Homo-oligomer: A and B are copies of this chain.
Amino acid sequence: MRATARASRHLVPTTWWGRVQWRVNEFAGASPSRFALTVFTTLILVFTLLFTLPVSSASSSTTPLADALFTAVSVICVTGLSTVDMAEHWSGFGHVIVYLGVQIGGIGVLTLASILGMVISRRLGLRAKLIAASDSNPLRAHAGPVAEGQAIRLGEIGSLLRTVALSAVIIELVVAFMIFPRMLAHGFSLYDSSLDSLYYSAMAFTNTGFTPNEAGLTPFATDYVFLTALMIGVIAGAIGFPVIYAVAQNLRRTSRRPFWTLHVKLTMVTFALLLVAGWILYLILEGGNPRTLEDDGPGNAVFQSLFMSVMARSGGFSVLDINHLHSSSLLVTDMLMFVGGGSASTAGGIKVTTLAVLFLAALAEARGVESMEAFRRRIPTDVLRVAVSVVLWGATIVAASTVTVLAITKDTLDHALFDVISAFATCGLSTGLTQHAPTPAVYVLAVTMFLGRVGTVTLAAALAQSQRGQYYQHPEERPIVG
């Protein structure tokens, strides 16, 4: 490992293991987005195979391909939607596969997205790069675009993976330790409490949202310690690895003034604003709904609104029956799910910074200044174009998928839009449409999950990598918009 890490980029190691590592690093470094696609597709195929095996199902029978594939995508993409009863359908072995799948999927996406994030943040301004690349630059020996700045350094993936996995283990253990005594208190056995608290904490941190016990969250519906533990796990997973890393760094050096990058500040502020907005909207819209929040008193309503606001962002746990929510709350949830969590996180959606960049662009335009600004930093224009691309990508997938699901199921827009956005943003909340969907719709939703998770994460990196020189310019002309 160390030998490989120290090896120069152009010296192929001599041991076979060294060569494998070298090749993986080369591939990941040269095209991280294609690497991410390959990793996710392979994982899904392997897990589909595992889920079809009779040993995985409680009834020892072969699970149909559509259900096995859907479960594999849902597990690896840490979505939490299901076409079968997750607590009852799978055997003990099946549950272990689910557990391992969400850990691999969750930690994998954190690592891959962090790599892709590095690629993007290392991207030079195009202007600077063009100057560096231009033939008139005496410092340059050969022509063509400069791409070295974008490559990931050898050994970085391994060390990143270790840091991510360590963070995940620490956070999941903390959450499990909060949950464990509550499960004992609710009368679960020591064995069940141990396993289920680990399962719950993994489902929280990876933002998956499956429940191991048949009754789901019903026994814990008013156990505020249990639900708070879930919220902590979900937020830690959804806020994104760059934020976790920055918090850890700042905790370590307590003497100095904390240092936050623009990305971390933007993520934390937007994340918090959306959390509070959802909280208030649920309280207003559902406060008087006897089927959801009205009956158990205002204190419970305030807590459950906060819980819903957290879970709508990608957590996927729900105490209330989604079907009992008003249409207005479903629409609010749709919007929160679509935005999702932070970049390089286990959460889905277009990501909070994407939304923030769009608003900063509108703000800059309204103020009449040339550059987008936040926290005394200028944000380059190409970031806006990546943000626009991500939103168009998301809107197109959701629109196409919703129209298709509506045409197949003939269900209501309420339900179809909700489950499609939940799939796209890998949130996992459901109106029940997914569970009862005909097979073609199941495949459409599986594709939606895959495109939502893998597509959104890799799109930005793929775009950032596609820079090339532009050696001529067309004359400028201005269309009218709006």
A-side residues, CB < 8 A to B, are 117, 120-121, 123, 125-127, 130, 242, 261-263, 266-267, 281, 285, 326-328, 330-332, 335, 343-344, 350-351, 353-354, 356-359, 361-362, 364-371, 373, 376-390, 392-393, 399, 402-404, 406-407, 410-414, 416-417, 456-457, 459-460, 463, 465-468, 470, 473-482
Contacts and interface: CB of A to CB of B under 8 A. Distances in A.
Nearest to A386: B481
Contacts of A387: 481-482
Contacts of A366: 389, 463, 466
List the 8 closest A-B pairs by CB distance, nearest first.
Answer: A460-B482, A368-B466, A328-B406, A390-B482, A377-B477, A362-B389, A343-B480, A262-B477
Please indicate which of the listed interface residues A123, A393, A466 has the most CB atoms of chain B within 10 Å of its own CB. Answer: A466
Given A376-B475, A378-B473, A380-B476, 7 more contacts: A327-B412, A328-B404, A350-B482, A368-B466, A368-B467, A370-B470, A413-B413
A377 B470 contact: no
Nearest to A127: B370
B327 A392 contact: no
Contacts of A262: 477-479
A390 B481 contact: yes
A285 B410 CA distance: 11
11 contacts: A125-B476, A242-B480, A261-B477, A263-B477, A327-B410, A332-B403, A353-B479, A357-B481, A362-B392, A369-B470, A378-B477
A351 B391 CA distance: 18
A15 B117 CA distance: 67
B379 A478 contact: yes
Please indicate which of the listed interface residues A281, A364, A366, A407 has the most CB atoms of chain B within 10 Å of its own CB. Answer: A407
Contacts of A371: 470, 473-474
A326 B407 contact: yes
**By DSSP majority rule, is chain A's interface helix, strand, loop, or mixed?**
helix
A359 B474 CA distance: 18
B378 A326 contact: no
A379 B413 contact: no
Contact of A413 (B121, B335, B381, B412): B412
B474 A378 contact: yes
Nearest to A364: B385
A120 B478 contact: yes
A474 B377 contact: yes
A356 B481 CA distance: 9
Contacts of A364: 385
Contacts of A370: 126-127, 130, 382, 470
B369 A482 contact: no
Contacts of A410: 326-327
A8 B460 CA distance: 54
A459 B482 contact: yes
A98 B390 CA distance: 44
Contacts of A466: 365-368
A119 to B, nearest CB: 10
Nearest to A482: B460
B482 A343 contact: yes
Contacts of A266: 479
Contacts of A478: 120-121, 123, 262-263, 379-380, 383
B382 A331 contact: no
A387 B386 CA distance: 15
Contact of A354 (B367, B376, B384, B481): B481
B392 A359 contact: yes
Please indicate which of the listed interface residues A357, A414, A477 has the most CB atoms of chain B within 10 Å of its own CB. Answer: A477
B476 A378 contact: yes
Contacts of A331: 399, 402-403, 406, 413, 417
A416 B327 contact: yes
Given A357-B479, A362-B392, A392-B362, A413 B330 contact: yes
Nearest to A263: B479
Contacts of A381: 381
